Structure 1
Amino acid sequence: MNVLAIQDGHNASCVYLEDGEVRLAVQEERLRREKNFHGFPLQGIEFIEKESGVKASEMDRIVLASSYVPSPPPGGREARIRAYKKDPAKSRVKEGLKQLGVKRAVAAGQIQKRKNILAQMGCEQSKIEVMDHHFCHAASAYYGWGKYDEDVLVLTNDGAGDDLCATVSIGSRGRLKRIAEVRMEHSIGELWALFTAMMGMVPLEHEYKLMGLAPYAPESGVERVKRVLEDCFTFESDGLTWRVAGGCPP
């Protein structure tokens, strides 16, 4: 079976699988020479068609990651930086979360728009499947691990995707069962994006640099920041999910 998987949001990409094995994978930014390209990966699909010898219309299945993909931030990366510096609480990322709040009202139309793009390539609508954003994250970890004879705890945690920012699942005998989820309003990832901007870097792009700098922080400062962050979130009684405490951004 030939499968084409498409991620058409932030840092768009696509993957080609043949009989369950990844054969090709490409990020659109590499082909367009546009960092963290946001949109449908048309050039990536063309690349996979050329390298695999299989056209998109000939795929047995085409999978779209996420039901709803927020519109690209107007003005790109420079606009994101300016928005955070001017007023973090009214940043473009914050506005993006508000867009996600009306996801259910517009998701069907957006899915059809994406299907129409594929239809122009000759793809049959019946072969197109839309997958939940966090299920895709969890699946990449669980099926990538590949040990189906043991129960595996699978955690996802990001800025936001399909109304959620985190999930807890159990992988068992080749299947994933979600047991808990955290709504996007309580995203730790969005707070991390705010920190990134406060450090003079690009939110939704340079978060990894903060991770790289973390080991250089003095221990006394680490403890002080840790106490502040612990006050920003409270865990629910189930011990698996959390929520933003009152007065804490974003």
Structure 2
Amino acid sequence: MAAAQEERFSRVKHDPRFPVHALRYCLREAGITLDQVDSLYYYENPGRKLGRIVSTCFNFGLQGFRTFVTDLPDWLTSKVHVRQNLRRDLAAHFGDAWSHPQIDYIDHHESHAASAFFPSPFQEAAVLCIDGVGEWATTSAWTGSRNTLQPLWEVRFPHSLGLLYSAMTWFCGFKVDSGEYKLMGLAPYGKPRFVQVILDHLIEIQADGSFWLNMEYFDYAVGNCMVSDKFSRLFGGPRREPEGAITRREFDLAASIQEVLELAILRLARSTRDRTGLRHLCLAGGVALNCVANGKLLAQKLFDDIWIQPAAGDSGAALGAALAGWHMRQQQPRATAALDRMQSSLLGPSYTDAEIDTALRTQRAVFSRLSDAQLCPTVAQLLAQGHVVGWFQGRMEFGPRSLGARSILGDPRNPAMQSVMNLKIKNRESFRPFAPAVLEEHAHGWFQIDGPSPYMLFVVGVQDAHRLSATPEEQMLDGIDRLKCVRSAIPAVTHVDYSARVQTVGRSAIPRFRELLEQFHQQTNCPVLVNTSFNVRGEPIVESPSQAYLCFMRTQMDYLVLGNFLLRKSEQPALTEVTDWREEFALD
């Protein structure tokens, strides 16, 4: 019925505090109060997690003992007492309205597995969960049938594909838990010349996909760093400093770790299929957001269909805990219809035109109101003219992707659009690619994909018919200079390896966004738009009209559309701020 991340309301990215704003929203959307809630389910088991930490510390000798002495007091006084902390916070924020519901723990990977299987359209499926670490599990396999999940096997900490990828993310100068997207986007610029080095020294991957990490090269188990000095020596020196120049080494390390991750995932998927005999696969966990690996898995056709939880990280695990509690603890049945129950991920707040009008007048904004019939043709024309448009419609998306409700849009045919949106609007690195949204019925004509991809979770190739051959001069370009090449008829969404992270938009998915795509197609004969999240680097995706207006004014977007309201940047009063907003959102 409802799902939202606290960061969208608080404006603190990855906000770890008690999610009072998100909780109040969900209750309001459901039309209930907290005293009508029978049970709360939490997405991990802190007691088992503490057991893993204690065991790990003692297994790592003197260094582990030092960590144990440093970290244990915090765990014993706070972190392990989740039920007590939740009861305290609920009482503080809801007072007499709090009815003391039962609070139960769901193991972390069970939460991930539930988030993947129960909303999927499958009555039976294999489930793979791959992330950093839960209590003990870092990778796990399950079978799902109707309203039950059965565990098959797990790989345990410290051996972790997620932490291996995060270690390389850190070594290449990006922030763990947010920079992994950047490493994935960097990979096509490099050559995978370190693959064998990684396989020889860092990870051993068996034929069935099971793996073992050589912990002599890592420090994350008990230390305060991701990698050891031995890791740095293996790759020729210390990590790249954040915001420093990206060198050939970082390009090639990104390409290499991406190839190793894909190798492991393909082997895991193949052995899971062989063991279960099931023809459908569900994926969750942070590593399931690696869209390039997902695209490679899709191309192998190991399964008839693959469904990935769009909020595959820990925000989705909270949803999974609720689903596991409902279906498995309370034995509630699943609907039998083959439906995707994530509702296009449109599970967040929405605003009426009256509420938007009030917010804009409070900001002293200059705007016009268009009729339903005028809106999409007008915006499509602005996009076709090369303008960048902020697009705010309906319910906010749940998860890390903007899918047509809180989006920044542009014309994919414009060769300058990728750099303009990165540098002047998103305030992020120029190498990062943008995703195309495409009318579902035209997707195969433009991209190498045979089915729907509504959540932007598969990277596939642009069709040969739309590719442009590089000139001899362009073939000589290296590194970031490769951005200068126009590779296709839609260069703004074509990465340097002719790939794209595709979002297909069906007829019933997101009605107004679908209508806008149809109008753009009608005017330009191109059924594709650039679609990126409505935020700047370091900032959560916008939730409210006021947040959208502020983001619009802080960047070089040309137009803003909020519901039926259209705003032109050049007509707005100057924005005056006491501090630099770039300092407000710590860049990551």
1:58 maps to what in 2?
36
Contact 1:115 1:125 in 2 (8 A): no
2:115 to 121, 140, 154: 140
1:130–1:210 CA distance, 2 compared to 1 (3 A)? same
1:234 to 200, 204, 208: 204
Contact 1:68 1:111 in 2 (8 A): no
Contact 1:67 1:107 in 2 (8 A): no
1:158 maps to what in 2?
131
Query: CA offsets, 1:187-245, max 9 Å, x none?
Result: 2212222222222221111211211222332xxx21x22222323223469x3532213
2:8 maps to what in 1?
30
2:371 maps to what in 1?
none
CA RMSD of aligned residues (A): 3.2
1:125–1:240 CA distance, 2 compared to 1 (3 A)? farther
2:385 maps to what in 1?
none
1:46 maps to what in 2?
24
The one-letter code of the counterpart of 2:10 is R
1:175 to 118, 134, 148: 148
1:163–1:202 CA distance, 2 compared to 1 (3 A)? same
1:46-125 mapped onto 2 (5 Å cutoff): 46-68=24-46, 109-120=81-92, 121=94, 122-125=98-101
Query: CA offsets, 1:88-113, max 9 Å, x none?
Result: xx9xxxx79x969x989987533332
SS of equivalent residue, structure 2 residue 122: coil
The one-letter code of the counterpart of 2:216 is G
Q: List alignment gaps of at least 5 residues for structure 1.
A: 1-22, 71-89
The one-letter code of the counterpart of 1:243 is W
Contact 1:193 1:204 in 2 (8 A): yes
Contact 2:38 2:101 in 1 (8 A): no
Aligned equivalents of 1:201, 1:213: Cα separation in 2: 11
1:29–1:236 CA distance, 2 compared to 1 (3 A)? same
1:105–1:41 CA distance, 2 compared to 1 (3 A)? closer
Further displaced range: 23-32 or 180-189 = 180-189
1:77 maps to what in 2?
none
Deviation of the 1:164 alpha carbon:
2.0
Deviation of the 1:40 alpha carbon:
1.8
Deviation of the 1:118 alpha carbon:
3.2
Deviation of the 1:28 alpha carbon:
0.7
Deviation of the 1:142 alpha carbon:
1.1
Larger-Rg structure: 2
Query: CA offsets, 1:60-86, max 9 Å, x none?
Result: 33211112298xxxxxxxxxxxxxxxx
Deviation of the 1:135 alpha carbon:
0.7
Q: List alignment gaps of at least 5 residues for structure 2.
A: 50-62, 220-588
1:45–1:157 CA distance, 2 compared to 1 (3 A)? same
1:155–1:103 CA distance, 2 compared to 1 (3 A)? farther
SS of equivalent residue, structure 1 residue 160: coil
The one-letter code of the counterpart of 2:106 is M
1:191-230 mapped onto 2 (5 Å cutoff): 191-217=164-190, 221-222=191-192, 224-230=193-199
SS of equivalent residue, structure 1 residue 153: strand
Verify: 1:249 aligned to 2:215, yes or no: no
Deviation of the 1:119 alpha carbon:
4.8
SS of equivalent residue, structure 1 residue 168: strand
Query: CA offsets, 1:134-179, max 9 Å, x none?
Result: 111111111122311x4x2211111111222111112234321111
The one-letter code of the counterpart of 2:167 is L
Further displaced range: 32-41 or 186-195 = 186-195
Deviation of the 1:117 alpha carbon:
2.7
1:49–1:105 CA distance, 2 compared to 1 (3 A)? closer
Aligned equivalents of 2:76, 2:111: Cα separation in 1: 19
Contact 2:129 2:140 in 1 (8 A): yes
Aligned equivalents of 1:145, 1:175: Cα separation in 2: 13
1:13 maps to what in 2?
none
Q: Which has the higher strand share?
A: 1
